[in-house]
Amino acid sequence: MPGLAAVKVALRQYALTFDGAHEDHPWGENVTKVHDKVFAFFGVDDDKSDGVMGVKLARSLLYARSLPHVEPMAYGLGKSGWCTVKRPKGRIDVKLMKEWIAESYQLVAPKRLAARATTRPVASRSTRGAARRSHR
């Protein structure tokens, strides 16, 4: 079972495969943005945090918040569907985390980009083959 740091790296790499996505580091934290709007928070690179990620959800919101390791995001962001996902007691369901990243992207990205995205990201031409292999 991969450790939390390895899972977060894999999720960050996945988030960057979406059309228009780029990484930024406001407040010293790792975030993934589309058109300068955050769609995934990954926190800081340290071994002290139990946070996996933060995402905006709508379709999956009720289910996500029913889980003991998911809570509304602080600073009032939880009111608009943002969730903080902490490390669960068992294994981390990477497939589910990727689905939530995709949902967050669809909610935050401009409509023309979000319309092209489903549960799988749209990779750039130069990375299309690599992205396709990484999602299997």
Domain CATH code at residue 23: 3.90.1150.30
User: Is residue 97 scored above 90 in pLDDT?
Assistant: yes
Look at residue 122 in the predicted model and tell me its pLDDT: 46
pLDDT, tens only, 11-37:
999 999 999 999 999 989 999 999 999
| Structural domain includes residue 77 | yes
Distance CA 96, CA 17 (A): 17
Residue 132 lies in a domain: no
Asked whether residue 18 is assigned to any structural domain, the reply reads yes
Question: 117: how many CB neighbours lie within 10 A of its CB?
Answer: 18
Whole-prediction pTM: 0.83
Grade residue 127 by pLDDT with cuts at 50, 70 and 90: very low
16: in domain: yes
Q: Which domain holds residue 30?
A: 4-124
Residues in the chain: 136
Query: Number of structural domains, the chain?
Result: 1
